[in-house]
Amino acid sequence: MSVVERLVVIVLFEGVDLLDVTGPPEVFSLVRREMPGPTGYRVVLAAETMGPVTTSAGVRVLPDTTFDEVAGSGIDTLLVPGSVETDGDGGYGVRARTDPAVVERVKTLARRARRITSVCVGAHLLAAAGLLDGKRATTHWSTARQLADEHPAVEVDADPIFIREGDTWTGAGISACLDLSLALVADDFGETIALRVARQLVMYLKRPSGQSQFSVPLEPVSRTRRVEELRHHILHHLDGPLTVADLAEHAHLSERQLTRVFKAELGMTPSAYVEAARVEVARGRLESTDATLERIVTVCGFGTTDTLVRAFRRRLGTTPTDYRRRFRSPLAEATPNR
């Protein structure tokens, strides 16, 4: 039986996020266990030298090879992780780091790769290398605005957990690296193998690419006081009418202006933000209270149970009932039915 082994090269550099480096290999390593024959991936960590690389977590990692050595190989998948630093005065909170030397290495290795992927803020390195121009891409929600500001040729969408544009894949933050890796496995070896690997990882579900990054709507990511005030207005009036017309009137803007501001500041339309916020609050109530679906519909402003169900399917790939069954806290039964 012929061996089908795909070479995955993970880029290492000082300060790289540890989970970005270790998460995908965990997924790829399980493929061999689930395949009927000798097949799967060969993962190598490549760095500038063979010396240890210190990750953002302080854990040191030893490379398998150097950039120069691997540049002559036939790379199946180039996987680019990311790194962040605290932003002292730019207003972003954190900033993605893009070392020019690493960017040049990524650009060179990308020419040898069949497929290019980024994990979390690694998208900033791909963008700096010109590999995302004219493409839709995602990254961790906390640096999405930075990516859009610094690379206007990239269509940044902060909502999905991963995006595929041909042979270029970009993933969202932290644990989404597992979802991205599972999607790569499905693309290479089929959905059945990917689902078997997901079971080995004890993952509740293999989330589709369109699913939103959790908790995005409730984070302080806007730059202007007007948008920040609108966000707080939405979160404190979820049970009321929050149409685009209502929000525009509240903000003293035209509906077109409001939509433009929301897309620029939050990366989504006002209606999408409202729905995401309602789903986020509903998730919390499903996890932590014994409230009925009808009560949650009222409190979160969905209008009908059908609307709630559709929103959950669209954003989380499941139903409210299934979500509660999987994630409800044991303390929920003791929590008042609010």
Residue positions annotated with a catalytic role: 120
Nearest to 124 by CA among 108, 109, 105, 144: 144
Task: Give 24-85 as a 3 state SS string.
Answer: HHHHHHHHHHHCCCCEEEEEEEEECCCCCEECCCCCEECCCEEHHHHCCCCEEEEEECCCEE
Q: Decide if 122 contacts 20 (C-beta within 8 A).
A: yes
Q: Are 301 and 328 in contact (CB under 8 A)?
A: no
Contacts of 37 (CB under 8 A, 6+ apart): 1, 3
Kind of pairing between the strands at 53-54 and 60-61: antiparallel
To which residue do tokens 């729905």 refer? 275
Give dist(CA 119, CA 81) in Å, integer.
5
Query: How far is Cα 287 from Cα 291, in angstroms, rounded to an integer?
Result: 10
The helix/strand/coil state of 155 is: strand
Question: What is the identity of the amino acid at 282?
Answer: A
